[in-house]
Amino acid sequence: MEDQSDHDHDQGHFHFLPPLDNPLFVHHDISQILVPPSPPIIVLEHPPLDPLANSAATQALEPLPTLPDLQDPDDEVDPAITGLHPMALSNANPMSLGPENPHAMQFLELWEWQSHADVQLRAMGPVPSRRQIHRLARNCPPRVEYGQLRGDEYDFQGISWRDLGVTRHAARCRRMASFRNYVNRPNSDSLLNSSADRLLQPVENYVRFKSMDIRRDVRLLHFQLRNILGVASRTRVFYPSFTSIRELDPTKGRDKAAMRFDSQTDAHISTMTASDDILIAGGFYGTYRYRYLDSSAGGLEAHEGRLTNHYSGITNHVQIHSSRHSSTPLAAFASNDYGFRIVDLASNKVMSEIMYDFALNCSALSPDMRLRAMVGDHQNVLITDAETGEVLQDLEGHRDFGFACDWAPDGWTVATGNQDRSIRIWDARKWKNSKGESTSVAVVRTEMAGARSLRFSPLGSGKRLLVAAEEADFVNLIDAQMFNTRQTVDIFGELGGIAFADGGHDLIALSCDLSRGGVVRLERCDTGAEDNFSYAQRKYREREGWRTPGYDWMQSPEQIVAAPRSQQSLTQKRRRAAMLENWTF
């Protein structure tokens, strides 16, 4: 994450094979969008456009209405209705910014407002009704389930596009034309002829929508850091709110406080995660707080600590893992002061501190706990010794700063996501070619913005997947064996993270939109696809030798059964094997 003291303001739903019984799920061919890119949208109290400065044809239009008031002093302060992001209500760091793209209701208001001054925009088709936008902002369902979906009449964010007077497809086209992907290096996200980036076809069907619990109190405080979701199980999902961390049960829609803070300042959370029994959060001021979820003592008692006193000590990322030599739980913190620290959660003491040449934004530990992948405020990817911190590989290829990485259960597949809108796949068995050049085995281009969160599917969960959450709107589910196809799930709003639950059967995504944000629960629906897969040894071309045969992360079901990290029990595997012949799917 860039140092905010040097911040430059100038720099810088579902999309899959549609179920036959649901008209909501349709393909949107984004490649056919011919809408010219719009300039960055900046929401001001006074309109940045002057219709009187336009041509005579524009002057003949009806008078330009004023922008909707962002806040009425007589109204109750509701961020979803006022249009203010929590960053505007209480800034964690005066030099840091919230998301610079408008949230869902602001996007609709700006679309309607700009149509009065833009002849081309009005000629392209209907625009949303201002009255219906205001009604939509105030009337929000707490929960939407699969059976309630009615296409454009009612989507999984509880939005009736028909009442707004537009189609969801038209709204998606407008959103993509006006969205600004943040970059630190100018034009790094441009698709050049020499680039190996590949936009995959959205032809797969891995997950389906299960439910969405809409919450207006999700607190996203930094426009670059998007790992603020913790998932301990399918019934325990955590997200940051104004003065607490909330715990939500997506199966029932019930929530409660999981960790309380004395004030909003104390609750300035920049990163968060959860394991089966630990919830941990890092803050803007070099502090962290964690608690044991199943503590016999009960209550919400938490342990606190400080990593650094540096003025730019924002905690950018945290990963919980066990020690390589014992079962002691450890927390690996990547900080904005260029430091990487390991904390022993059993004793609440910093075990090691290693300083690097740039701020680190994300890290991922290899399954054997020997190596660690790191990305940060540099275009290169670091592969380090997990214990000593020594840099073993410095991988080139990305064109901008990195904010996401993950290490696959097979032990050698690594994914990194940067602001250049590319996701690079690396093979730990061959980081570089014979010329010493960094070699990524695949480069996937994102749909609209840079990938801010990456997760490989767990071992034993079925078809191997790589899930990539972009800065906003799009969650991509990529075939993690061939890296040539994907499924996309699109939602209107900034994204705060993704995580698997229930052994990989559920996928949880956090939307941070002020009016239609919340916790989205998706479930795997591709189990039957295994019936058409054969584990017979396949021959690959020499350049594809890095690919591993197998449906899951190992070459055969026997290996998956034997793997200690498998998400399915040995009994389940044996029972399934007994029903099949020759391990043929």
Model pLDDT, residue 156: 94
Taken in order 569, 370, 475, 338, the sign of the CA dihedral is: positive
- Tell me the C-alpha distance between 381 and 398, whole Å: 8
pLDDT of 80 reads 41
Residues with Cβ within 8 Å of 134's Cβ and at least 6 positions away in sequence, in order, are: 68
Q: Could you give the CA distance from residue 414 to residue 187 in angstroms, rounded to a whole number?
A: 25
For 237, residues 6+ apart whose C-beta sits below 8 A from its C-beta are 229, 230, 231, 247, 248, 249, 250, 501, 508, 519
- Tell me the DSSP string of 38-65: PPPP---SS-S--GGGS-HHHHTSPPPP
Q: Which tens digit of pLDDT belongs to each residue from 199-220?
A: 999 999 999 999 999 999 999 9
Helix (H) or strand (E) holding 249: strand 244-249
Q: Which residue has the tokens 């594809």?
A: 544
Q: What pLDDT, on a 0 to 100 scale, did the predictor assign at position 193?
A: 62
* CA–CA dist 326, 347 (Å, integer): 14
- The single residue listed with the structure tokens 């980036």 is 197
Tokens of 562: 């034997």
Q: Under a CB-based contact definition with an 8 Å cutoff, are residues 221 and 98 in contact?
A: yes
Which structure tokens are listed for 368? 């054997």
Q: Tell me how far CA of residue 345 lies from CA of 273, 280, 301, in angstroms.
A: 14, 10, 14
What are phi and psi for residue 366, nearest 5 degrees? Answer: -70, 155
Q: What is the pLDDT at residue 92?
A: 33
> Distance between the two ends of the chain, CA-based, in angstroms?
45
How far is CA 10 from each of CA 182, 183, 186, rounded to the nearest angstrom?
10, 10, 10
DSSP secondary structure of 445-506: E-SSS-EEEEEEPPTTSSS-EEEEEESEEEEEEEETTT-SEEEEEEEEEEEEEEEEEGGGTE
Q: What is the CA radius of gyration of the chain?
A: 24
**Rounded distance between C-alpha atoms, residue 245 and residue 241, angstroms:** 6
Neighbours of 276 (CB within 10 A): 11
CA–CA gap between residue 478 and residue 486 (Å, rounded): 4
The structure's pTM equals 0.81
Residue type for position 296: S
The H or E element spanning position 391 is strand 391-395
pLDDT for 264 equals 79
Pair of tokens at residue 298: 């009960």
The residue assigned the tokens 């998606």 is 172
The full length of the chain comes to 585
Q: Give residue 262's pLDDT.
A: 86
Low-confidence residues in the chain, pLDDT < 70: 2-99, 193-194, 295-299, 528-550, 555-585
The whole-number pLDDT of residue 539 equals 46
The residues with which 398 forms a beta bridge, in sequence order, are none
H helix and E strand count, the chain: 10, 29
